[in-house]
Amino acid sequence: MINKNDEYLHEPKKTKDWTESFNINFVSKKNKVYGSVDFEFLFGKRKIQTHWVIIYNNTVYENSELVDFNGKFNAKKYGNSKFEYSIVTPLKSFRLSLKNESITAAISISGIYPIFDFPANIYDEELSDVKIPVKTWNKYEQRCKINGTLQIKSGENKGRKVNFDCFGQREHLWGNVSYDDLYARNRITVQFRDMSMNLSYQERNTVPESNGFISKRSGNIPIVNVEYESIHMDIKKAGIVSSEFSYKDAQDDVDLLVGKSLFSVAMPLTAAKKKKYFHFRTFAEFTIIGTNKKGYGVEEHLFYKDLPEPLESTD
């Protein structure tokens, strides 16, 4: 069970795959603002690896840098003059401050739906067998209300000040996360008017693993199975065009989620991972086919370059 102390950092184990990371993402279609913020604590180096991307009016603003980590595991604030993350009230409210030479962003994050703590094990639905007998990581997510202000300092939109508000998602993960046998990882987060949805599908040594949840104000409904249907890529633009994933929830509802890209960006990879993987993050409009329910969100696709048919391509 997640408690207030879990909002802070956890004592790392001395293993090569240990990580602790945060992600916040949001899509404000009416304000033409899409955003995603990642930061990972590199405890051995006493650094924080930060990367954020904000798209406004079809212009990409992004920044990656190493920020000094002060070594305090119970601090309420981390960062520097260009990146700052603050825990205002654990489980309830947070702030982000982002700056580079082109843009300044001030973002308030308020948790509005119950937190979903990902389960200890992932099961094979047909064989009733445990695929991951001992979970080596911990992760929780929460639907949030996002309020922010952008100030554009240079480029095509120079001088503009943009206020935006929308729904978003925050994620906190810590533990051992290995890439050694990872073939593909697909993660989708969608915000609808009255709920959010998370789908996760990955393959390790060609063996599929999946999970997720539907979040409503009244509580969370686990998703027990996700299946990859298709991903389409624009070769010239090097981005994702569309995706289709089917899912089954704990109430035995089965449906198909279709994503249509609003904007797709290539994500940074370390030199070692760049040789093995493609990595895209896409801001998209989604439709649940069975109900025609529509929403907006973010999908992330990491897949092994040597897979025989990782996706379908279009010109």
Partners of 63 in the β-ladder: 52
Contact (CB, 8 A) for 94 and 109: yes
In the numeric block, the tokens 């999946």 are attached to 210
DSSP state of 195: -
> Which CATH homologous superfamily contains domain 1-178?
AttH-like domain (2.40.370.10)
Residue-wise pLDDT tens digits, 116-173: 999 854 444 444 444 444 568 899 999 999 999 999 999 989 999 999 999 999 999 9
CB burial readout 79-106, b (16+ within 10 A) else e:
beeebbbbbeebbeebebbbbbebbbbe
Class of domain 179-315: mainly beta
In eight-state DSSP terms, residue 106 is: E
Task: Delimit the CATH 2.40.370.10 region(s) of the chain.
Answer: 1-178, 179-315
pLDDT per residue as tens, the chain (315 positions): 899 999 999 999 988 899 999 999 999 999 999 999 999 999 999 999 999 999 999 999 999 999 999 999 999 999 999 999 999 999 999 999 999 999 999 999 999 999 999 985 444 444 444 444 456 889 999 999 999 999 999 998 999 999 999 999 999 999 998 878 888 899 999 999 999 999 999 988 878 889 999 999 999 999 999 999 999 988 676 789 999 999 999 999 999 999 999 999 988 887 777 778 888 999 999 999 999 999 999 999 998 776 545 455 554
